[in-house]
Amino acid sequence: FVGNSTYLDDHGPPPQKVLPFPSQVVYNRVGKCGSRTVVLLLRILSEKHGFNLVTSDIHNKTRLTKNEQMELIKNISTAEQPYLFTRHVHFLNFSRFGGDQPVYINIIRDPVNRFLSNYFFRRFGDWRGEQNHMIRTPNMRQEERYLDINVCILENYPECSNPRLFYIIPYFCGQHPRCREPGEWALERAKLNVNENFLLVGILEELEDVLLLLERFLPHYFKDVLSIYKNPEHRKLGNLTVTVKKTVPSPEAIQILYQRMRYEYEFYYYVKEQFHLLKRKFGLKSHIRKPHPRPEFFIPSPLETEEPIDDEEEDDEKWLEDIYKR
């Protein structure tokens, strides 16, 4: 009887939502590596492209117990797809707990610059509010807040010595206790994870190229990201998150930091080299502008040799699929 026919009688079941590939992305963002700028962009992009942006209010708990890992993985895995989950958290191995391993992305920066940015941010906040730092570190004593960075480094205060300086590698090494110990084991495991689980690890110093590649690899999430980023309105938002009262330590202090962070630098240069190989593969030139005098000026960077790329023209899409399948 036509009057009582349902949608199902006439049309069959409603069409299934077609998910983009990949439909599960995790950005386990490293602190003070431009992540607030990227999250601002993601908020705009999630509205524009209709993906589920899952964020977390927990900013200071990067290491989790086994139960906390299971709980978090369960929560992320049940989020509506396509989702992009972001939080400051060390790498989580979903497959260890029987979940689907999502695609990971991340951004890192020069380790000394990251450390300095964090040092001054904890003390003095950023332009979003003069009292921002008081809320963030209310129990910091005045003498600690105004502790000269050179004194902190040269006199070996805990904040300026290992293991506090071993910061970036654990985000890629994971939740194993040895991931927190500065050394070869954690470094090698971090490199392995970058190769096997991360679609892209970019370099903050070349953020526009990072965004270009994200748009290329993950169009459902990042289409038009560069034009949004370059929009003058968004530029204003980015400037609010610049750390204030930053000063550069003495060359002697920088050398000491560099020694203490040698594993971090080995990892940083490894990621940078991989990133440059990827850029060349997709025809992006590295535009090296003359930088402002920055701490790297004092740092003896290893010579980076340009490796020749195989002449074989590989199909870009096939290459992407291979990465997802790994």
CATH of the domain at 160: 3.40.50.300
Instruction: Say if 123 falls within a structural domain.
Output: yes
pLDDT level of residue 161 (50, 70, 90 thresholds): very high
pLDDT level of residue 140 (50, 70, 90 thresholds): confident
Instruction: Say if 312 falls within a structural domain.
Output: no
- How many domains does one find in the chain? 1
Between 220 and 123, where is the model more confident? 220
For range 262-289, the mean pLDDT: 90
**How close are the terminal C-alpha atoms of the chain, in Å?**
53
Average pLDDT, the chain: 84
Give the pLDDT confidence of 200-217 residue by residue, as tens digits.
999 999 999 999 999 999
Instruction: Say if 324 falls within a structural domain.
Output: no
Given a cut of 80, whether residue 296 has pLDDT beyond it is no
Given a cut of 50, whether residue 46 has pLDDT beyond it is yes
Instruction: Say if 295 falls within a structural domain.
Output: no
**H, E, C per residue of 293-319:** CCHHHHCCCCCCCCCCCCCCCCCHHHH
Catalytic residue, chosen from 11, 49, 59, 88, is 88
pLDDT value at residue 309: 32
pLDDT level of residue 306 (50, 70, 90 thresholds): very low
For range 177-197, the mean pLDDT: 97
Give the pLDDT confidence of 106-122 residue by residue, as tens digits.
999 999 999 999 999 88
pLDDT value at residue 119: 92
Instruction: Say if 241 falls within a structural domain.
Output: yes
pLDDT level of residue 130 (50, 70, 90 thresholds): very low
Q: Do 298 and 226 touch, CB atoms closer than 8 A?
A: no
Tokens at residue 268, please? 């940083």
Domain carrying residue 180: 24-284
Paired with 27 in beta bridges are: 86, 105
Given a cut of 90, whether residue 298 has pLDDT beyond it is no
Given a cut of 70, whether residue 233 has pLDDT beyond it is yes
Given a cut of 50, whether residue 319 has pLDDT beyond it is no
Instruction: Say if 321 falls within a structural domain.
Output: no
Given a cut of 70, whether residue 90 has pLDDT beyond it is yes
Between 102 and 246, where is the model more confident? 102
The burial class, CB within 10 Å (0-12 / 13-18 / 19+), for 284 is middle
Catalytic: 88?
yes
pLDDT value at residue 66: 96
Backbone φ, ψ for residue 22 (5° rounding): -80, 160
Instruction: Say if 92 falls within a structural domain.
Output: yes
Query: The tokens 């990042």 sit on which residue?
Result: 222
Q: Which of 270, 89, 88, 108 is nearest to 189 (CA)?
A: 270
pLDDT value at residue 6: 54
Instruction: Say if 1 falls within a structural domain.
Output: no
Given a cut of 70, whether residue 78 has pLDDT beyond it is yes
Tokens at residue 145, please? 């807040």
Give the pLDDT confidence of 253-275 residue by residue, as tens digits.
999 999 999 999 999 999 999 99
For range 38-51, the mean pLDDT: 96
Segment among 7-16, 126-135, 267-276 with least mean pLDDT: 126-135
